[in-house]
A and B are shown apart, each in its own frame.
Chain A
Amino acid sequence: DGGITQSPKYLFRKEGQNVTLSCEQNLNHDAMYWYRQDPGQGLRLIYYSQIVNDFQKGDIAEGYSVSREKKESFPLTVTSAQKNPTAFYLCASSIAGDSQPQHFGDGTRLSIL
């Protein structure tokens, strides 16, 4: 079955360490997205990519970095510059073009010890 895989579901890291969250999709989607969710605030867009080797900053890109070397993969690195990294991270993908709904992964809960 096609879908989006985020791993792991729960991730713990020490303060000051960079950490990379995995997102893989086998839907042949061109566009991929990373969101962050904090309790009561809803989702906020971190980065998105409409095509391989290209990506744009979202609303809260500071302290994060991404790469899009392959169509099916869009890893997110949470750097030590991110002041409050503990959150729920959600990856999504969609067919490129107007009015194409996004498909979502199950999310990764990151906790900084």
Chain B
Amino acid sequence: GDSVTQMEGPVTLSEEACLTINCTYTATGYPSLFWYVQYPGEGLQLLLKATKADDKGSNKGFEATYRKETTSFHLEKGSVQVSDSAVYFCALDLTGNQFYFGTGTSLTVIP
């Protein structure tokens, strides 16, 4: 069935380090892919998205490229900040009627 597999955490990085959070998916059709972020004490917020193969989503210094050949949508940032500490979710939307979420990756950035 359709699913999302996300790198397990927690991840702890020093400020200005590079970040990669892996996400791969299984889908029978042509999904839209999303990264959501959950800051402490808040609900989910959309971080970025890509709706077709080779699209690159970007926001707040984060990027992810929709790779159909490897069924991946890895989240990357070149230099993380303390304020990036949060839980990150990869998600897949096939039809607009059903979302599939990864289990979430907790990121802590230390000064």
- Interface of A with B (CB < 8 Å)? 33, 35, 37-40, 42-45, 48, 50, 58, 88, 90, 92, 97-102, 104, 106-107, 109
Contact = CB atoms under 8 A, between A and B. Distances in A.
B97 A109 contact: yes
B106 A101 contact: yes
Contacts of B38: 101-102
3 closest A-B pairs by beta carbon, nearest first, are A101-B104, A39-B96, A98-B40
A90 B89 CA distance: 15
A35 B34 CA distance: 15
Contact of A101 (B43, B97, B98, B103): B103
B99 A43 contact: yes
Contacts of A43: 36, 44, 46, 99
Secondary structure class of chain A's binding surface, majority of residues: strand
Contacts of B43: 33, 35, 45, 48, 58, 92
B34 A42 contact: yes
B87 A99 contact: yes
Contact of A37 (B10, B93, B103, B104): B93
A105 B101 CA distance: 10
Contacts, number: 65
Interface in B11-65: 32, 34, 36, 38, 40-46, 49, 51
B33 to A, nearest CB: 10
B85 interface: yes
Given A35-B44, A58-B43, A104 B34 contact: no
Contact of A42 (B42, B49, B87, B106): B49
A101 B104 CA distance: 6
B72 interface: no
B89 A101 contact: yes
